[in-house]
Amino acid sequence: MPHRQSHVLLSRVRGWRRRVTHARVAHIETPGAVRVVGPDALTFLHSLVSQDLTTLAVSARVPSLLLTPQGKLTASFGITRVDEETLVLDCASEVAPGLADALNRFCIRVRVEVVDATGQYVAVRVRGGDEPPVDHIVAVDAPLPAIDVPVVDDAEWEALRIERGEPRQPLDIDERTIAQEAFLDRDAVSFTKGCFLGQELVCRIDTRGHVNRYLRGVRSETLLEAGTELQHEGATVGVVTSSAVHSDLGAVALAIVRREVEPPAEVSTPDGRLVNVVELPMR
């Protein structure tokens, strides 16, 4: 837990255990963070990222991507507008330095400062039930928002992340990823905002193309290690990218799988274990 308020929150639910599928639960973490500050901060980011930021209100957060000019992934993150001139991009801690460097390369004749602010913000994430995801990004010295649902530990949250099909960079998505392969286009891409970095490939696929692989769920009897190949009819059709043990579903995993393998489908591992490729989120 990042600071004393997190310990207070956890003390309220100490000893709590429950079956978590479909439950509304929260997790507190210290994410990677990149702070973009200045009079041109909003317009600077809007011109580069995949999300439409023109209506982003103070305190609001939206998912977004920074792509390469060729349309491949540089970083996946959330954008929170802290105030009129400050935006915070929360991402995996491994991603923040590269994201800050990538944005700084575009800081030419703009009134913007981009800094890696990892360790300076806390993320309170709420998932489950029939409600949409909620992510609050606050400074480490600011009060945490009130949480009226149980807080789960890292291992349980990881299992829930996999169940929901939320890819984590660089485990499940990386510099080779196209947005549609991991369904990032559903929430993190605006197809109406106009130009952004890497737009051509993403929009071309959306209008008249397809990708050759997809992020899928995997159910198995035993835990699969990341890197485990998935085989079908003698050919390798995928690879496991992350895995966990879910309190309800047992061993679960995410994998990048060839599009020819339509879920539900049974595939095997090189050591002969049979596993099931399923749609996401897992239900």
Tens of pLDDT, residue by residue over 99-127, are 999 999 999 999 999 999 999 999 999 99
pLDDT tens-digit readout, 60-77: 999 999 999 999 999 999
The helix (H) or strand (E) run that includes residue 219 is strand 213-220
Tell me what pLDDT residue 22 has. Answer: 60
Task: Evaluate whether residue 254 is within a structural domain.
Answer: no
Q: How far apart are CA 234 and CA 13, in angstroms?
A: 49
Give the range of the structural domain holding residue 12, as residue numbers without chain letter: 4-164
Tell me how many degrees the CA angle 22-27-28 measures, rounded to the nearest 5.
170
Task: Find the mean pLDDT for residues 121-135.
Answer: 93
Tokens 């047992």 found at: 250
Inform me whether the pLDDT recorded for 12 exceeds 70: no
* For the chain, percent of residues with pLDDT exceeding 70: 92
Burial of 226 (0-12, 13-18, 19+ CB in 10 A): middle
Does any domain span residue 8?
Answer: yes
Instruction: Indicate which CATH number applies to the domain containing 91.
Output: 3.30.1360.120
| C-alpha span between 93 and 226 (Å, rounded) | 19
The DSSP-derived string for 190-205 is: -SSS---TTHHHHHHH
Task: Please report whether residue 55 resides in a domain.
Answer: yes
Domains in the chain, number: 1
Residue 214 within a domain: no
Within a domain: 105: yes
Average pLDDT on 174-196 reads 97
Convert the pLDDT of each residue in 212-251 to its tens digit. Answer: 999 999 999 999 999 999 999 999 999 999 999 999 999 9
Residues β-bridged to residue 66: 75
* Domain annotation covers residue 199: no
Residue 244 within a domain: no
**pLDDT value at position 11?**
31
pLDDT mean across residues, the chain: 92
Q: Distance (Å, rounded) from C-alpha 248 to C-alpha 92?
A: 26
At residue 130, the pLDDT reads: 83
Residue 214, helix vs strand vs coil: strand
CB distance 182 to 164 below 8 Å: no
Find the mean pLDDT for residues 128-147.
92
pTM, to two decimals: 0.90
